[in-house]
Structure 1
């Protein structure tokens, strides 16, 4: 069995298994799986509006997944993507309404501000890891909570005690009347182009640059990298900053494309934490993350149609989505099973030939 065939079959089998077990869960709780999955399909591909909303939902997951994957590829565990994302969201929203710049340039400046904000928020755990050997998992988790309350305090200050910042200027928006009109006035925006560019940029950095080689080398073996003359501390910090910048860009897409502002939050958005699953689904590879985000975002957006169209409670929808992702993430087990089947076939073939 070729490796290419195995790579294709693993996600297909995983999704099928997830759908089967999800159907069993729906049936065992008294709901019709066929109606449920038809509603899921309609929620994703039912019309141009749903397709536009599906793509819009996918966009921030791409950036969150890239942020997690980049850190992991360089030997770091960035659990603070959620905090970095909302800091980028705040920065983009602020630049979007507080400055008057030409159309196009304004959006670019706001996007760059979000990347800087996310990168600076990730700089702190990177510095602590590089200089004091403080584990980044603990620091990034705590930084999420700090970010949540800092953002809420900043929103209150910017809005004079209001619940959201002023709306950004039209010159900073990445939404499009053209995209809206062809998708029945969905909230689809040009962020999907930025997301694809981000995937290519991550691939280029890691695979085609000296910096990327050093970042991966330090992540793989710090002692050997230091012996080879690489600056380990600098590379650790750089890895976290770049990871945080990707997360901040995800926030910019929400500020400049979907909402046009940022509102006070009583809880986390969940996008940053879901980015861990997206990176896992994509095997921490840039283009794999894109595919993982497509699956994750599609299930998330399509799942919102299941309660209204099929009467399935949100809790069951969440379980079904989680099961599908679980089986996709368990691809290694499926790979072992396929390898075992292939070996058994080869062994039987050998026995027949000997006879």
Structure 2
């Protein structure tokens, strides 16, 4: 299992004037594993099932994806950066999130992972070919670890605007006229999941895939019970990577919360948002700038009610940055921007949510009445 901190003093020092006001206290989770099986290098793609691939393709183009491949049963979406696709949508009777696929650094990692987990390496059905090891995390999500063959080539970029700042005026005798068009997705950034077994799932991703925590959130008055949310990044040593590739939080349900896709800049976010609004799509929350991760953000719902985020200008951390610790609250989600909506927070009442709460409180998991009341308090603070 993942190790815990024996001395919090050095870690707290690392957070002065950095990404969090405080680090871990003595004995708290370090946010990393002492000896992980492998270290994945990135999130490769996400897998969904939907009944209407034509409708999914229309939204995909409006949101800013390109179509990498299309068959009668599958739709592969990509960004403009070279690499693997961002998403695969498979035809099915219902709309549901299937699971994430993470990228292994080399073929040998797949072999080692398969031996350690009692699974096997098999061919990955992905454009360009490759191989995969298929696992199941403690929450019940299918998790793929893949090593891809031929990568998709880069596509033309949506260029960032040249900006004037104070006395620095690089743009002279030239106007700004960004077109109101879809944001051009560059790449997949992260996925956020809700789970009733947060602690077990956290340790599994750290121990099995070698990921490390950038920030922990805890419930007010319940820090001694451990964190209830983690922003987790890949460990690529001295190479700085996204603040989080995966985020998880404790909740009454088990499922997908949202996924995030990088675009060029704030104008791309704003103009792309206007384009989506004009076509009748629902904004869930935005535009604003996050605290954990610092991203500029804008959240939207697709026709199947899945939440997707446009983001730009996120934090990049190397492996020597230790986790920050902060209380969980809706007001602590953004430095600026409109208040977080009930739709984004998932607090809108629904029969499904009531069923999830009842099942969680009756089941053998990490949810109990105190945790539930703490989550409700955080959503309203």
TM-score normalised to structure 2 length: 0.23
TM-score normalised to structure 1 length: 0.24
Larger radius of gyration: 1
Q: Which has the higher helix share?
A: 1
